[in-house]
Structure 1
Amino acid sequence: MTGSVVLVHLAGAIALLLFATRMVRTGVERAYGDALKQKLRGTMRNPLLAVLAGTGLSIAFQSSTAVTLLVGSFAGAGIVSGMAGQLAVRGAEIGSALVVKLLSFDLSLLVPVCIAAGTVMFMATERRDWRQIGRILVGVGLLILSLEMIGEAAEPLRESRLLPVIVAYFASDPVTAFLLAALMTWLFHSSIAAVLLFVTLAERGFIPPELGIVLVLGVNLGSSVIAPLLTRGAAPAVRVVPVGNLLMRGAGSIVMLTLFLVFKPPVGMLGAAVSDQIIHAHILFNCIILIAGIPLAGLVYRASQAIVALGGGGEKAGSLADAELSALDEAALATPSLALANATREVVQVCETVEIMLTRVIELYEHADQDKIDELAALDDRVDRRHAAIKLYLAKIAPAELTQAEALRCQELLGACVKLEQVGDIIVRNMLAHVQKKLDRGLTFTDEGWRELTAFHHVVLTNARLAFNVLVSRDAETARQLVQEKDRLRALEKQASQSHFERLREGTAKSVETSSIHLDTIRDLKQINSLLASMAYPALEEAGLLTGTRLKAV
């Protein structure tokens, strides 16, 4: 087998590894993301529980970066403190290392079991939770399969004359090897994938133990850079946690590399096999960072705040984000196809604004703040301005120049704008009024009631994203799924209302105090979902999947 063919096989196996890791994370986020987020919110006030929560979330999401971004957003919203957030991230790094240890065992039998069971669960039902569990199982199966493929693809390299030269070079130049591992991890956007790749190659005898330790330290540097880069345009409060992680983990990896090269400690204590030594070094490093991070948490937090304030990028990014750019080019009106494309781009921007409003409003229910309420209300003005501009723009297109398909698209965009404006009005006039009432009276939901509200909101937010996708793609299958979710939400509403009235009958004080807010919020979210689901009707009608009435024939 030629070297180019070996590299093609190896590249395909690595690509499958990255895809499978993302597939598992996506399935977990869609199936259990809201519940896990709520669990994190409730435990972040206790330092020990914050570490444990971060560890658990990292194992579930298969990504410490995802947890870092999540905790950073919580810190930015004032839900958790920056110091508690940094401790949660420390736990997330340990959880990420434990995932690598778990996947290092011989799990080959799980490949056919997970793929077969996951495929059956995904295709045999339309229930979202079961389909996402199926997605997770298929992802786990593909993840294990990709590790086997990497090992098989690398096997011909044993006969290579060039590989020993390359390995010897990196072994003699640990700084370059360290930086290369950091770059690979940044490109992968996954420390788990990077460490698993090195572990698999070490099992085949391609990586000596000392070089493996250096590569693991480089992985930790690369992983610590990802979140700060992804949040570089975010608000300063959001960036503090990722920057603090970079200070601890990134700087810690450089310090540990220096100590390792100076003192050259024996690596045999980490395990008998090179692969075990690499995994255990990864776990040990993150445990050391956690232990060192506890007494240094206050210092690191203040230093990260100072760095973010010194950069000042967040404020500039915010002012640029406030600038409104319009896609409604008057010169394109003479070409209806271009004009409709411009209008579609503008409607997509309205969708993004509505999604921000829908995402942020539930956070205000838990941690209301008058300034944030005013900021959210101001977004509705943006929606109204864009809605009016889109209507005027589409009205300027001469009807005689439109084909039948273009005329239908024009009506679809107008209808979508009207629905999006109505959604914005419901959020601002109804839901923000509930938030204000809750804030003024100092009310709190019961734990069960809050879980019901957030779960209901999560379903509506997911359906909103489906609706926005349908508006652009006009995919009939996605549109059908969106309308089916409308029926599911109706059942969830009945279940939530029954649970709420049961708590009222039991005389739960908090339930009585927040009863109207709870029921009105459920009603508003259901109305929002109905408006957004109706955006799927044009795509269904075009595909011949829409009936004239839901009434049974008599």
Structure 2
Amino acid sequence: MDHPNIPMFFLHIAGAAALLIWSVRLVRTGVERAFSLQLRRWLRWSAGSRVLAAASGMSTAILLQSSTAVALLVSNFVARGTIAVAVGLAILLGADVGSAIVAQLLLLRQTFLLPLLLLVGVAMFLRGHQRRIRQTGRILIGLALIFVSLAMIREATTPLVDSQGAANVMAYLARDTVTAFVIGAVFAWVVHSSVAAVLLFVTLVSQGLLPPEAAVAMVLGANMGGTFIAFMLTLTAPIEPRRMIVANFVLRGGGAVMLLALISRLSLPLDWLGHSPAQQIINLHLAFNIGLALLALPLTGVVTRLAGTLMPPRMDPSAGIGPTSALDPAALASPERALTCAAREVMHMGETAEAMLRAVPALFVQWDDVLAARMVTDENHANKTLMEVKLYLAKLNQAALSDETSTRSMELSSNAANLSAAAEMISRNMVSLARRLDSEGVRFSEQGWKEICDFHDRVLANVQLALSVMMTQNPDEARELVEEKDDIRALEQRLQRAHLMRLHEGAGESIETSNIHQETLRALKQVNTSFATVATPILSETGDLLSSRLAHRN
């Protein structure tokens, strides 16, 4: 077929690639919503051993179908000081292996898998009443759609196998491996998924459309592009997680460049990696990441120290300028613009409270006068911002507003009050509890501290979800946030009972810190409640919220 319908080919390929990208994201979203707490806990408590850390990163990446998602999770832990930079790098090396294993698994072609996954997934999603069951159904549907997208790619590329024009283009990529490498890296970065990129390239090889030489370069390029995603997403992160991300980028990206150079210059054979070109390419992808992890794991300490030397702490270029307000008086003449300005300021309040909450565990581990003073300053700023937002919205309400605009103004004012209350709870209650822990010279029991850390981590995840709800006004996320509020209340009660059981058993550390332990749990629950209220007006408008509880969904 010398003259295939090129426009239709690109349309089919684009549609199949879009479905592949969305399907991978669908799986990742389902895993994050159903099992994020367990994954975060596993990553945090695997920090005692680099081998265990790498294993946890690998398993988490397999579940999330993304090493980038693991990198963002670990960045949060490193920024809070929960995980050392070297351990975080070990987790990322394992996550890179995990993403390569995912690509292997998703290339399995079993005819019974597609209908089975769709049948079970749709049934669980539509008929399941528990959130975890529904999200598991979402995961299975996403997996099925990945297989559908790969089949669409194979079908779309079949007419081009015998096309002379396509053969000439692909032959050029086989000769110019640098261009092929760049294409692979850019494509992985654009679609924000190295897994999707590798699956696409290997599928094209299996169809005989993409020469193995070009595929080698493109898959290695996808490895570099995959690490560049996390690099771009953490540009504004604190310096410690940035060092970890940059170290992983240099190791994986530099390793990919070096391996491509070796294969190209020495004409290394790939026959030992598999019988078919597609098997050789996908196995090379896995072998590269496993080999990199084995070589780099013993050197994570050296690499991170070198990164610390090359990346000193950054000076804040805005220091001394002072905070700027989004409450533009000139926007009051346009209600929609004014509401947007107020929403930006309220969002900043939420981000401030989130940053304060992140710092709490470090303060409990080791008292820091400077950190405590900063949290008090942040709380005072949140109170000041609350008053400014209320006055700004009051001026806006002096004009004749529509019912919708007036309602939105009241919602923003209420959200600001609740976020200010959360900041006050953190600054006054939790900082005071940390100070008591230090001044009395006592420490939580091992089990008690683990429970507090896990509870804090879950509340922090809900805070991040609340900020997302504020930005997107997504009813599904709002419903999830309210469901989490009920779960947090029940979990707090279980943890209080577990603490009382340890008291009855006479655990010395539990007795010494009993009041601090219980008050910390209550404070975290109240912070969660303050943030969860941002979902109330959204669900009231959609009819998902009854007068006293969340409406039941069939």
Is it true that 1:226 corresponds to 2:229 in the alignment?
A: yes
| TM-aligned CA deviation for residue 397 of structure 1 | 3.0
1:147 is paired with a residue of what secondary structure? Answer: helix
Out of 253, 257, 262, the position equivalent to 2:260 is: 257
C-alpha contact 1:34 1:454 (8 A) present in aligned 2? no
C-alpha contact 1:35 1:455 (8 A) present in aligned 2? no
Is it true that 1:203 corresponds to 2:213 in the alignment?
A: no
Is it true that 1:21 corresponds to 2:20 in the alignment?
A: no
TM-score (norm 1): 0.89
| TM-aligned CA deviation for residue 390 of structure 1 | 0.8
1:281 corresponds in structure 2 to 284
Is it true that 1:418 corresponds to 2:421 in the alignment?
A: no
Is it true that 1:386 corresponds to 2:389 in the alignment?
A: no
- 1:324 maps to a residue whose letter is P
Residues 1:18 and 1:437: Cα distance change in structure 2 (over 3 Å): farther
1:244 corresponds in structure 2 to 247
Deviations 1:351-393 (A, max 9, x none): 2222333344356445665444433333222312211211221
Task: Please list every run of 5 or more consecutive structure 2 residues that lacks an aligned counterpart in the other structure.
Answer: 550-554
C-alpha contact 1:248 1:300 (8 A) present in aligned 2? no
1:333 corresponds in structure 2 to 332
1:304 corresponds in structure 2 to 307
Is it true that 1:143 corresponds to 2:146 in the alignment?
A: yes
Deviations 1:151-203 (A, max 9, x none): 22222222422110011101111111112111112212222111111111111
Residues 1:78 and 1:367: Cα distance change in structure 2 (over 3 Å): farther
Residues 1:249 and 1:480: Cα distance change in structure 2 (over 3 Å): closer
For residues 128-527 of structure 1, the aligned pairs below 5 Å read: 128-309=131-312, 314-316=314-316, 319=319, 324-362=323-361, 364-365=363-364, 369-397=368-396, 399=398, 401-441=400-440, 443-446=442-445, 448-465=447-464, 467-468=466-467, 471=470, 479=478, 482-527=481-526
1:99 corresponds in structure 2 to 102
- 2:380 maps to a residue whose letter is D
Q: In 1, Cα distance between the equivalents of 2:301 and 2:534? A: 49
Residues 1:425 and 1:187: Cα distance change in structure 2 (over 3 Å): same
TM-score (norm 2): 0.89
Q: In 2, Cα distance between the equivalents of 1:73 and 1:271? A: 39
The count of aligned residue pairs is 546
C-alpha contact 2:9 2:157 (8 A) present in aligned 1? yes
1:62 corresponds in structure 2 to 65
C-alpha contact 2:103 2:195 (8 A) present in aligned 1? yes
C-alpha contact 1:240 1:301 (8 A) present in aligned 2? yes
C-alpha contact 1:234 1:318 (8 A) present in aligned 2? no
| TM-aligned CA deviation for residue 91 of structure 1 | 1.6
Q: In 1, Cα distance between the equivalents of 2:92 and 2:268? A: 28
2:82 is paired with a residue of what secondary structure? Answer: coil
**Most deviating of 451-460 and 243-252:** 451-460
Q: In 1, Cα distance between the equivalents of 2:61 and 2:210? A: 27
C-alpha contact 2:393 2:409 (8 A) present in aligned 1? yes
2:90 corresponds in structure 1 to 87
Task: Please list every run of 5 or more consecutive structure 1 residues that lacks an aligned counterpart in the other structure.
Answer: none
1:266 is paired with a residue of what secondary structure? Answer: coil
- 1:315 maps to a residue whose letter is M
Residues 1:38 and 1:487: Cα distance change in structure 2 (over 3 Å): closer
Q: In 1, Cα distance between the equivalents of 2:78 and 2:483? A: 36
Q: CA RMSD in A?
A: 2.9
Q: In 1, Cα distance between the equivalents of 2:299 and 2:27? A: 34
- 2:238 maps to a residue whose letter is A
Residues 1:5 and 1:448: Cα distance change in structure 2 (over 3 Å): farther
For residues 32-71 of structure 1, the aligned pairs below 5 Å read: 32-71=35-74
C-alpha contact 2:58 2:99 (8 A) present in aligned 1? yes
C-alpha contact 1:17 1:142 (8 A) present in aligned 2? yes
Residues 1:209 and 1:392: Cα distance change in structure 2 (over 3 Å): same
Residues 1:464 and 1:41: Cα distance change in structure 2 (over 3 Å): closer
- 2:167 maps to a residue whose letter is P
